[in-house]
Amino acid sequence: MSRWEALHDLMSNWSAAAGMAIIAAILVVALAGPLLTPHDPLMPAPLQRLQGPSSAHPFGTDSLGRDILSRVIGGARISILIGVISVTISLLPGTLLGLLAGYFGRWIDSLIMRCMDMLLAFPAILLAIFITAVLEPNLTNTMIAVGIVYIPHYARIVRASVLSLKQQLFVQAVGHLGGGHVRILLRHVLPNCIPPIIVYATLGMGTAVLQAAALGFLGLGAQPPSPEWGAMLSEGRQYIQIAPHVAAFPGAAILLLVLGFNLFGDGLRDVLDPSLRSQ
Amino acid sequence: MRKFLIFLAVTVCLAPLSALAAGPTQGGTLIWGRGGDSVNLDLAQATDGESIKAGVQMLENLVIFEKDSMNVVPQLAESWTVSDDGLTWTFKLRKGVKFHDGEPFNAQAVYDSFARVIDPNHPFHQYGKWVYLSLSLGPVKEIKIVDDYTVALVTEKPYAPLLNNLALWLCPILSPRAMAEYKDQIGQHPVGTGPFKFSKWVKDDQIIMERNPDYWGDKAKVDQIILKSIPESSSRLMALQSGAVDIADDLDPDSIRLVEANDQLAVIKRPSVNVGYLAINTEKPWLKDARVRRAIAHAIDKETLIASIFQGLAVPAKNPFPPSIWSYNDAIQPYAYDPAKAKKLLEEAGFDFSRELELWAMPVSRAYMPEPVKTAELIQAYLAAAGVKSKIVRMDWGTYLKKTSNGEHDLCMLGWLGGNADPDNFLYGLLSADTAKTPGAANVALWKNAEFTKLCLQAQRTFDKAERTELYLKAQEIFHQEQPWVPLAHSTIVRCYNKRLHDVPLRPNGLNSFQMVWKDK
Amino acid sequence: MPLGYIAKRLLQLVAILFGVSVVVFLMLRMIPGDPAQLLLGEFANPEELARLRTQLGLDRSLPLQYGIYLQNLLQGDLGNSIRTNTPVAVEIWGRLLATLELSLAAMFISTVVGVSAGVVSAVRPHSAWDYGAMFMALVGVSMPIFWLGLMLIYLFAVKYPVLPMMGRLPMGLEVPAVTGLVMVDALIAGRFGVLWEASRHLLLPALTLATIPMAVVARITRSAMLEVLSKDYVRTARAKGLSEAVVILRHALRNAFLPVVTVLGLNLGLLLGGAVLTETIFSWPGLGRYVVDSLMGRDYAAVQGCILVFAAMMAAINLVVDLIYVLLDPRIRVNE
C-alpha cells in the first residue's frame, strides 16, 4: 500500500477524518492561544468572580474573576503537551522492553514480564497518584507518572507482535543467515511492530490526557495558576451549586480532545491494521 | 359554644406563636454535619478538631472556659487554691458525679486520668500517645490524692497558665474502669461525665451520642446528637439547605453567603483570635532589606482579598494579633495598597526584579486561611503588578511545616490561633529571636530583632498589665517598621445552623458543649 | 482442570504480592512528608514531634520496619492505622464492602446496557442505530468521569433535585448489617423503603462509574457478535429456519461471550481505579477514597493494606478470567 493510498483511506474513514479535524482544531487553538484569548488567562479580577457566561466572558469567570474561555484556550497547549510527552515516556521503554522480552524469550522474558505484571497489579490511577506523590506534584511529574503507568501496555503489545513475527519465516531466515541481534531487531522486527504501536499510541494520548486531568482534579497535577483543565474542573467542584459553568467548560474540553484522539485512533486502526479491529 | 369556637380559632392561630414563646423543649435529634470523621475521642490524645468538638460533648475537665468567652470557671472541680510559692494547685472536687458507666467520680479518677499522661510507670501510660504536653500537663511533676474529693497538682516551677491548660480540651477526666477495660481503644469508647454519652461510631460516617439522663448539672435538651461526616463543602451546604442536617461546619465563604440569604437558616459570627499571614524569610539576602518587605506589604490589596476570597468574613490585619486581644496597637497606620509606591521602594532598595520569588501556599485550609491556594494566586498577581515575579510552590502539609520551620522558602503563608488569648503567644512565640532557630523555628520569617525580643522577654517578667501593654505596643511598632510578615487577615468564625435549633453557642475557639441547645418539635 | 497450572499461577500470585508489598513499602517511605508532623500540625513543638515519632516506630531503620511489617503480615495482621489507631484490616473491610456494592451495581449496569447495545448494533450493522450507539460508546470511553459525575450532580441534585447527591442512605436511616451491602441487607430485612432509598443513592455514582466499562463492553460485544454472525454454524441455524431471536441469543451470543468475559474481568480493574474518582465526588465511604486519604495523611499501614487488597483482587480476577477462558474454550492451551 503506497503512502498516498493510506492517506486516502484515512481521509475516507469518517472516524479518522473527524478525529483529525478535532485534533487539528485544538492544535490550532493551542498554538495560536495567546492571539485568540480575549483576556489574560492568569490575570485575576477578584471583584468579578464567578460570573455566569456573558458576551464579555462567553464561558463566564472563575473564583478569582479570570476569564474561563481564555483559560480553557490556555489549557489546550498543556493538555496536548501532556498527551504527547506522556505517551513518549511510556512508548520508548515499553517498546524496548517488549522487543527484548519477545525476542530473547526465556528468563529475560520472564523477568521483564513479571515486573510489568507488578506494575499492572495497581489500578492505573493509584499508581499514578503514588508516583506523583513520590516525585512531588507538578506538571512534569504528572507526565512522568502517567508515562510510567502505561509502560507495561506497550511492552505487552510489542512483545505479542514480536512473538508472532518470530514464527514467520523471514525473521528465522535472517537469523540463520547470521545477522546480529541488534540488526535483526532494528531492521526486521521493529518496523513490523510499528502499526500496532502507532494505533495504540494515538489511543494512549487520549488515556494520558484523561489520567493527567484526573490527577489535576485530585490536586496532584499542574500547579496554580496554570490553567490545566483537570485542576480547573477541581476548582469548579466547590462551586457546582452557585456557578456550575466553572466545572462545565474545562470538562467539556477534556472530553472533546480525548474524543478526538479516540476517533482518530479508531480510524487509524481500521486503516493500518484491520486485524486489530476486534480489540 | 360560639365562644368556645372563637377560643379554639384563636388558639389554633396562636399555636405557632406560642410554640415560639414557649421555652426550651426537650427531645429530638440534633444532626451535625462536618467535614471529616473524628480520630480519637480520648481528648488527652486528640490532635484534630473533629475529635475535639465531638469529645467535649462527652468528657469534662476540672475547669472550663465560660460559655462564650475565655474566662476560666469550675466544671468538675468546685474550687481551687494555689499555694503561696505558686507550686501547688489544690482542687476541691464536685461530689455525687457519676461516669457514664456508673463509676463514681473522685480523686482517684482525676489521678488516673492525669498520671497516665505524665507518669511512664502508670499502668495506663502505655495505652496512649500523649501529645501537646506543653499545652497540657507537661509542667506538672506530681499529682497527690489529698482525700477522696481533693487533688493537688505540683509543678516544677511557678506556672500561671496551668489553669488555662486544664480548661483546654487536653485534660479530660475519664472513668478509670473504662480506661482499664478498653486500654489503647479508650479513644474509640470514651467514658466521661458529660451531658452526652457515647453510643455508637460508624467510621467515616457518623458518631451517635445519647443524652445523659444522670448528668450532674443542667441535663441536655436534645435526646441525641448525630455527628455526620460529609467531606464536601458543597454537600454539607446542600444537606443544611434541605434540612438533612441541623448544623453544618466549615462551609466555604461562598456557601456561607447562601446560608445568610436563606430565611430558614441562621449564621452566628464571632471574631476569632487568629491571624493569617504571609511570612517573609528575612534570612534570604534579597529579602533582608526592610524596604523590600514594606514594598511587599504595599503591593497586596488586603481589602479586595477579604472582599473576594474571604467573602467579607474577616478583618484586614495590620498587627500580628487581632483587635480582640488586649494591647492591640490601633495607632499603627497600615501600609496602603499602592503598587507604584511598592515598585519605587523596591527600586530604592536595589531589588533584583529578574529574581523569581518562591511563594509557598499552604496545602490545607484553616479558619485563618480558608482558601490558601486562591489567596496565593491573588498575591502572586499583586506581586506581579509591582514588578515582582513569583512562583507558587505547593507540597504536602507535613513537608510544608518542616521546610518552612527550616527557612527554605522566600515567602510562605501560615497562621496562628492564639489559644490562651495572650499577646505573648503571638509576639514571643512567633516573632522573637528565641523562636527563630532552625530547624523547628516557629518564627518562620527567621526574624531576629534584638530590641523586639527584649521587649517580649521584659513583658514576660512583668506582672502589671498596664506595663506589659506599653511594652507590647512598642513591640508592634517595631514589627510594623520591619514587617517580617505581611499580616493578612483575622478571620471571623462562623456557625451555620437551621433556625429550628435554639440557644446555639459559639466560643471564639469554636468549641462548645451543646447541652443547652434545643430543637423545635 | 489442570491443577498444576492453577498451583503455578497461585505461586506467581504470591510472588507478585510479595513484590508489591516491598515496592509499596519503599515508595511510601520515599514520599516526602512526616506522618508525625502531619498528625500534630502547626501547633506542635520539636520535642513533641520527636516523642510521637518514637511512639510510632518511625525512628527505626527501614529494614527493621519492613521486617516487623512482614512478620505481622504473615500472621495476618495488617497493622494499625497511624491516624485512627484502629486495625487497618477492620477499616478496610467496611470500606471494601461499600466499594464492592458500588462496583457490582456499576458492573451490572455496564453489562446489561453494554451487551444489549452491542448485540443490537451487530444485528443491524451500519444502521443509524449502530452508528449512534457506537458513537456514544466512543464518547463513553473518552469521558472524564469526574466531570460526568459533577454534571450529573448538577442536573439531578441541584437543578432538578430528584436524586440525592451523596452518601449511601438518608441521614438517620439504617438497616442491620448482615452482608454490609446496604441493598442486600435491606432485602434481607424486608425493608423496601430502605431498598428504594439505597438504590436512589446508588444510581448516580453507579452510572458514573459504569460509563467507561459500559462503552468498552458495547464495542467488544459488537465486534465479537459480528465475527460470530458470519460463521457457518450461525448460517446453518438460520437456514434451519430458527427464529432470529433464537439464533442470536442461543447460538451467536453464547459464542461471542468469550471476549466479553475477558473484558468484564479486566473491567473490574477499571472499576477499582474509577472508584477512586467516583467515591471522591459522591462522598461514597469506599476503599478508593480511603486509600487516597490515607496516602495524603501518610498513613503507611493503611495504604500498604489497601494496595495489597487491590493487588490481590486484581490478580485473583485475572486468574479467574483465565480459568473461565480455559473452561469456555478448551482449544486454548494452558501453558500460554
Candidates 3.40.50.2300, 3.10.105.10, 3.40.50.300, 3.40.50.1580; correct CATH number of B274-491? Answer: 3.10.105.10
**Residue C307 and residue C160 share a domain:** yes
Whole-angstrom CA distances from A58 to A183, A245, B84 are: 57, 10, 74
Q: Which residues of C touch A252 (CB under 8 A)?
A: 147
Beta bridge partner(s), residue B32: B227, B247
Nearest-neighbour CA in chain A from C301: distance (Å): 15
Q: Is pLDDT above 60 for C71?
A: yes
| Over residues A130-144, mean pLDDT | 90
**Which of the pair, B406 or C320, is modelled with greater confidence?**
B406
Q: What is the CATH number of domain B59-181?
A: 3.40.190.10
> Contact A247/C141, CB-based, under 8 Å?
no
What 3-state DSSP class applies to C214? helix
Q: Biggest alpha carbon distance in chain A?
A: 76
Q: Is pLDDT above 80 for B488?
A: yes
Percent of chain B with pLDDT over 70: 94
Indicate the average pLDDT of chain A.
Answer: 87
Of C74, C106, C121, which residue sits at a domain end? C74
> Contact B416/C41, CB-based, under 8 Å?
no
Length of chain A: 279
Domains of chain A, start order: 3-38+57-278 (1.10.3720.10)
Cβ atoms A21, A251 nearer than 8 A: no
Q: Which residues of A touch C316 (CB under 8 A)?
A: none
pLDDT value of residue A190 = 84
pLDDT value of residue A4 = 65
C287 belongs to a structural domain: yes
**Which of the pair, B31 or A272, is modelled with greater confidence?**
B31
C197 belongs to a structural domain: no
> Contact A46/B378, CB-based, under 8 Å?
yes
A142 vs B77: CA distance, rounded Å: 57
pTM of the entire predicted model: 0.85
C139 belongs to a structural domain: yes
C333 belongs to a structural domain: no
**Residue C104 and residue C55 share a domain:** no
Q: Is pLDDT above 80 for B278?
A: yes
pLDDT value of residue B6 = 47
**Which of the pair, A193 or C249, is modelled with greater confidence?**
A193
C194 belongs to a structural domain: no
Residue with cell 496512649: B128
Nearest-neighbour CA in chain A from C109: distance (Å): 21
| H or E element in which residue B155 lies | strand B150-155
pLDDT digits (tens, 9 = 90+) for B365-414: 888 898 999 999 999 999 999 999 999 998 888 888 889 989 999 999 99
| Over residues C110-128, mean pLDDT | 90
C181 belongs to a structural domain: no
**Residue C42 and residue C121 share a domain:** no
Nearest-neighbour CA in chain B from A32: distance (Å): 24
Chains touching C by CB (3 or more pairs below 8 Å): A, B
Chains touching B by CB (3 or more pairs below 8 Å): A, C
pLDDT value of residue B418 = 73
Q: Hey, what's the cell of A183?
A: 540488526
Q: Hey, what's the cell of C123?
A: 444485528
**Residue C10 and residue C62 share a domain:** yes
pLDDT value of residue B231 = 77
> Contact C41/B401, CB-based, under 8 Å?
yes
Q: Is pLDDT above 80 for B508?
A: no
Indicate the average pLDDT of chain C.
Answer: 84
Q: Which residues of B touch C38 (CB under 8 A)?
A: 396-398
C82 belongs to a structural domain: no
| Over residues A249-275, mean pLDDT | 89
Cβ atoms C303, C292 nearer than 8 A: no
**Residue C295 and residue C164 share a domain:** yes
Total domain count, chain C: 2
| Over residues A212-233, mean pLDDT | 90
Structure letter (DSSP) for residue A196: H
pLDDT value of residue A172 = 65
Report the range of poorest mean pLDDT among A102-116, B10-24, B256-270, C221-235: B10-24
**Which of B183, B195, B164, B150 shows the shortest CA–CA distance to B63?**
B164
pLDDT value of residue B162 = 83
E strands, B327-440, where?
356-360, 389-393, 411-417
| Over residues C57-80, mean pLDDT | 89
**Mutating which of B233, B308, B375, B488 best tests the A interface, going by the most A Cβ atoms within 10 A?**
B308
pLDDT value of residue B366 = 84
Instruction: Tell me the range of B273-282, B398-407, C118-127 where mean pLDDT is highest.
Output: B273-282
> Contact A47/B252, CB-based, under 8 Å?
no
Of C22, C48, C74, which residue sits at a domain end? C74
> Contact C273/A125, CB-based, under 8 Å?
yes
When CB atoms are compared, the residue of C51, C94, C296 closest to B203 is C94
**Residue C316 and residue C252 share a domain:** yes
Whole-angstrom CA distances from A108 to A100, A104, A179 are: 7, 7, 20
A76 vs C307: CA distance, rounded Å: 34
| Over residues B432-441, mean pLDDT | 86
**Residue C282 and residue C249 share a domain:** yes
Q: Is pLDDT above 90 for B151?
A: yes
pLDDT digits (tens, 9 = 90+) for B300-354: 999 999 999 998 999 999 999 999 888 999 999 999 999 999 999 999 999 999 9
Percent of chain C with pLDDT over 90: 23
Beta-carbon pairs below 8 A across chains A and C: 123
B515 vs B216: CA distance, rounded Å: 12
Q: Is pLDDT above 50 for B14?
A: no
**Mutating which of B130, B132, B428 best tests the C interface, going by the most C Cβ atoms within 10 A?**
B132
Q: Which residues of C touch A204 (CB under 8 A)?
A: none
* Residue B79 sits at the chain C interface (C-beta within 8 Å): no
Q: Is pLDDT above 70 for A276?
A: no
pLDDT digits (tens, 9 = 90+) for B205-239: 789 999 999 999 999 999 999 998 887 777 788 88
**Which of the pair, C322 or B45, is modelled with greater confidence?**
B45
pLDDT value of residue C319 = 78
How many CA atoms lie within 13 Å of B306's alpha carbon, on the beta-carbon side?
A: 19
Hey, what CATH topology would domain B25-58+194-270+494-521 get? D-Maltodextrin-Binding Protein; domain 2 (3.40.190)
Q: Is pLDDT above 90 for B42?
A: yes
Residue intervals in chain B for CATH 3.10.105.10? 274-491
* Confidence grade of residue C336 (pLDDT, cut at 50, 70, 90): very low
Which residue range forms the structural domain that includes residue C308? Answer: 91-169+207-328
**Residue C28 and residue C125 share a domain:** no
Residue A17: partners with Cβ closer than 8 Å, 6 or more residues away: A10, A11, A267
Q: Hey, what's the cell of A78?
A: 498543556
Residue intervals in chain B for CATH 3.40.190.10? 25-58+194-270+494-521, 59-181
* Beta pairing, strands B274-280 & B411-417: antiparallel
Beta-carbon pairs below 8 A across chains B and C: 102
| Over residues A207-219, mean pLDDT | 92
In DSSP notation, B73-98 reads EESSEEEEEE-TTS-EEEEEEPSS-B
**Which of the pair, C84 or B7, is modelled with greater confidence?**
C84
Q: Is pLDDT above 50 for C334?
A: no
**Residue C234 and residue C134 share a domain:** yes
pLDDT digits (tens, 9 = 90+) for B86-122: 899 999 999 999 999 999 999 999 999 999 999 999 9
pLDDT value of residue C82 = 82
pLDDT value of residue B50 = 87
Q: Which residues of C touch B442 (CB under 8 A)?
A: 45
Q: Hey, what's the cell of A157?
A: 503489545
pLDDT digits (tens, 9 = 90+) for A20-61: 999 999 999 999 878 888 888 888 998 889 999 999 899 999
Indicate the average pLDDT of chain B.
Answer: 89
Whole-angstrom CA distances from C157 to B356, C160, C182 are: 45, 6, 21
When CB atoms are compared, the residue of A47, A137, A238 closest to B308 is A47
* Confidence grade of residue A81 (pLDDT, cut at 50, 70, 90): very high
Length of chain C: 336
C-alpha triplet B223, C95, B370: angle, nearest 5°: 70
Of C74, C101, C122, which residue sits at a domain end? C74
Return the amino acid letter for C144. Answer: P
pLDDT value of residue A6 = 67
Q: Is the peptide bond before B439 cis (omega within 30 degrees of 0)?
A: yes
Length of chain B: 521
* Beta pairing, strands B485-498 & B274-280: antiparallel
pLDDT digits (tens, 9 = 90+) for B153-163: 999 887 777 88
Cβ atoms B518, B503 nearer than 8 A: yes
Q: Is pLDDT above 80 for C98?
A: yes
Percent of chain B with pLDDT over 90: 62
**Which of the pair, B20 or C299, is modelled with greater confidence?**
C299
Chain B residues with at least one Cβ partner in A under 8 Å: 232-234, 237-238, 252, 254-255, 258, 304-305, 307-309, 361, 363, 371, 373-374, 376-378, 380-381, 392-396
Phi-psi region of B129 (alpha: psi -120 to 50; beta: other; left: phi over 0): beta
